Structure 1
Amino acid sequence: MSTQTDLLYTEEEEALRAAVRDLLGDHCDAAGVIARTESDAPHDLRLWKALAGTMGLAGLLVPEELGGQGATHREAAVVLEELGRAVAPVPYLTSAVVATEALLAFHRSRLRPGGETSVAADLLGPLARATAVAVLAVGLHTAPGAAFPTVRLEDGTLHGELTGIADAACADLLLVPADDGGLYAVDAAAVTVTPQVSFDLTRPLATVTLTGAPGRRLGDAAPAVRRALRAGAGLLASEQLGSADWALTETVRYLKDRKQFNRPVGGFQALKHRLAQLWLEVVNLRAAARGAADALATGEDVEVAVAVAQAYAAPVAVRAAEEAVQLHGGIGMTWEHPAHLHLKRAKADSIAYGTAGAHRAALAELVDLRAP
């Protein structure tokens, strides 16, 4: 007998949201984020330590026996909603979700003889304790199931160049796919990380160059990378939801306060219609994002749920940010207002882990509704 999925937030999830929002309110104001984008240190590692270390959020998806929280993707999704609202410059999605999921693909099934823990399990502990940041060295634009570049394995060391790697600049560990089909754990100190020009300055990209870098083989790359990118795409929808919800909420608030012709701008019918349409789209995005998070947590219909979420999320997040910029008028166009942070994040996220078009095509294959 099938049970009905409950996508409503639990009391525990709402408590987690409140705690994360309070912390971000104290340590991640918009002016501070904007200032960081103008510096040579875009990542807020102090905030990362507070989120990941003090609150233990880096280990939400890591089993308790490895020092993590043993929570589910639903809790991680709530965290990402709040990080999306603040456009927080921390490597949560890339390290605590994507890299962690790649390592979890080798946990339990890759025990050493004698019952010792696997290499992946040894690496998951520091990630859960926030003493290390890990990044999967696959371009941020790569969709789940798509082909990805690899480096050469020669004489036991790794050689090559990988581009578009998000948050590589703050990584301690890189998970690198090689041409022998394996995924290798490589210390960041053994590679050269060169910043790339990034549209979203709060999630910078970089080129990673390996010249004889040593690495520890974890196992087969393809299934681990697919699992990691699928989780990244599914939970990215929650980050996009947080950003879109911020854009809607702040725009409504502004239009209630802003007056023209002695009346609130929000009272004009044309703007009411635009906001009502945006509200409907954000509500639908919430359902899609929650569906993807729940599917990842339960393992049911994961491929379909993730494809649905990403096929819908990117256009809504971009439109919400564009409406925020436009409806805030002149101030929305300024560097001091955080609307541009959300617009750049939304545009960058629209191609992260596959475009909406790529996910629609994948969904058509999954449900056997291909174009004629």
Structure 2
Amino acid sequence: MSTQSSLSSQRDLLYSEEEEALRSVVRGLLADHCDAAAVLARTESAEPHDRELWKALTDGMGLAGLLVPEALGGQGATHREAAVVLEELGRAVAPVPYLTSAVIATETLLACEGDAASELLGALASGRTVAVLAVPLATAPGGVLPEVRVDGEALHGSVSGVADAVAADVLLVPTRAGLFAVDAAQDGVTVEARTALDLTRPLATVVFEGAHARVVGPEAGPAVRRGLWAGAGLLASEQLGLADWCLTETVRHTKERHQFNRPVGSFQALKHRLAQLWLEVVNMRAAARNAADTFATGSEDAHVAAALAQAYASPATVHVAEEALQLHGGIGMTWEHPVHLYLKRAKSDSIALGTVGRHREELAARVNLPAP
């Protein structure tokens, strides 16, 4: 692709009217069903995922099928629309498996051909089935995949650190013999919840002991790479929504909190810190929108855009969340205030789908500039 055509495909990164309308509807739904107190209470329960919210997002709005073609029962939308949804879910740290099922698992299946993959995509589009790619959350695109042994149609092995596995109906398992789909509720499959820093996106160890599996793709590698790259690119939009909430709430708090009969936000030192956070969020928006647009247009630069977005967004989101906690003062240090949920999600996202260092190495290798 020439430089001119590459620039023209990314020229308009502003939100369209349709995207803004989608944002408004999703934000309104989350305001009614996913307030901070409810999220916090759910993290302390035995059911971390909000199944009612997932049903509202999927049955009511069809958001699980945004990336699925209409011919397979989906919405036939693009990654730009999915990115808008993820922004809003990030703003609410919503405990739903949208990134793992509606993005990563869906993109993985879209790389497969045949009736088995098509049938499962239709089930995912409806939202009544949740699928999760059985790899550790920290797995980078192109990274080493876990070893699961295949004996005929039975799987043996274990995978640790799988995000949202406790909510999955179907597990997509990459093996040397291909990509397999496994019903999570059957005998021979054990999903053991593990303690995670981010309780809104729980982790689990999945153990296969002779579990019956069906083939959905003859080669797992290309399909998994497609799913993980799309996940990394759109994860930046979730991080953007998270950081934007942190900045907005911190500005509001510093306007309301008074010291020496003045809003604390009027002090010059805090103004400088807030201005720096604003710059980081603005830059993050540009990187996240660029990544979503390159995937939406099928650009050959999509992997570069995803690596760039993660290399910038991951540390920036953590910094914004840390500053939000600090600038909220004493109340920010309490469990009752939701800012700690955002800091934990930011920390978790910073190592999800590849670390910052891994994505910087990816960028350096593509421009022939290896690290010293």
With structure 2 as the length reference, what TM-score do the two structures score? 0.96
Q: Match for residue 114 of structure 1?
A: none
C-alpha displacement at 1:201, in angstroms? Answer: 0.1
Structure 1 pair 63–53 and aligned structure 2 pair: CA distance change class (3 A): same
1:30-50 CA-to-partner distances (Å, cap 9, x unmatched) read 000000000000000100000
State the alpha-carbon separation in 2 of the partners of residues 4 and 362 from structure 1.
Answer: 23
Match of 1:17 among 10, 16, 23: 23
Q: How many residues align?
A: 362
Match of 1:157 among 137, 149, 154: 154
Q: Match for residue 356 of structure 1?
A: 356
Correspondences of 1:173-192 after superposition (within 5 Å): 173-180=170-177, 182-190=178-186, 191-192=189-190
Q: Match for residue 256 of structure 2?
A: 257
State the alpha-carbon separation in 1 of the partners of residues 156 and 328 from structure 2.
Answer: 49
1:80-139 CA-to-partner distances (Å, cap 9, x unmatched) read 000000000000000000000010001xxx24xxxxxx2100001111011100000011
CA contact (8 A) 1:150 1:176 kept: no
Structure 1 pair 4–166 and aligned structure 2 pair: CA distance change class (3 A): closer
C-alpha displacement at 1:4, in angstroms? Answer: 5.0
CA contact (8 A) 1:43 1:89 kept: yes
Q: Match for residue 94 of structure 1?
A: 100
Q: Match for residue 242 of structure 2?
A: 243
CA contact (8 A) 1:151 1:159 kept: yes
C-alpha displacement at 1:370, in angstroms? Answer: 1.7
SS at match of 1:153: strand
CA contact (8 A) 2:68 2:125 kept: yes
Paired AA for residue 316 in structure 1: A
SS at match of 1:350: helix
C-alpha displacement at 1:7, in angstroms? Answer: 0.5
State the alpha-carbon separation in 1 of the partners of residues 170 and 147 from structure 2.
Answer: 17
Paired AA for residue 339 in structure 1: V
Q: Match for residue 277 of structure 1?
A: 276
Paired AA for residue 328 in structure 1: H
With structure 1 as the length reference, what TM-score do the two structures score? 0.96
C-alpha displacement at 1:56, in angstroms? Answer: 0.4
Correspondences of 1:179-218 after superposition (within 5 Å): 179-180=176-177, 182-190=178-186, 191-218=189-216
CA contact (8 A) 1:158 1:210 kept: yes
Q: Match for residue 296 of structure 1?
A: 295
Q: Match for residue 221 of structure 1?
A: 220
C-alpha displacement at 1:150, in angstroms? Answer: 2.4
CA contact (8 A) 1:158 1:178 kept: no
Structure 1 pair 4–96 and aligned structure 2 pair: CA distance change class (3 A): closer
State the alpha-carbon separation in 2 of the partners of residues 53 and 355 from structure 1.
Answer: 34
CA contact (8 A) 2:148 2:155 kept: yes
Correspondences of 1:299-310 after superposition (within 5 Å): 299-300=298-299, 301-310=301-310
C-alpha displacement at 1:59, in angstroms? Answer: 0.2
Q: Does 1:78 align with 2:84?
A: yes
Match of 2:71 among 65, 90, 96: 65
Q: Match for residue 343 of structure 2?
A: 343
Identity of aligned residues (%): 70
State the alpha-carbon separation in 2 of the partners of residues 322 and 164 from structure 1.
Answer: 25
CA contact (8 A) 1:321 1:343 kept: yes
Paired AA for residue 65 in structure 1: A
Q: Does 1:37 align with 2:36?
A: no
State the alpha-carbon separation in 2 of the partners of residues 156 and 22 from structure 1.
Answer: 45
State the alpha-carbon separation in 1 of the partners of residues 371 and 93 from structure 2.
Answer: 37
Paired AA for residue 330 in structure 2: G
1:200-251 CA-to-partner distances (Å, cap 9, x unmatched) read 0000000001111111111210000000000010000000000000000000
CA contact (8 A) 1:88 1:202 kept: yes
Give ranges in structure 1 of 5+ residues lacking alignment: 112-117
1:57-82 CA-to-partner distances (Å, cap 9, x unmatched) read 00000000111000000000000000
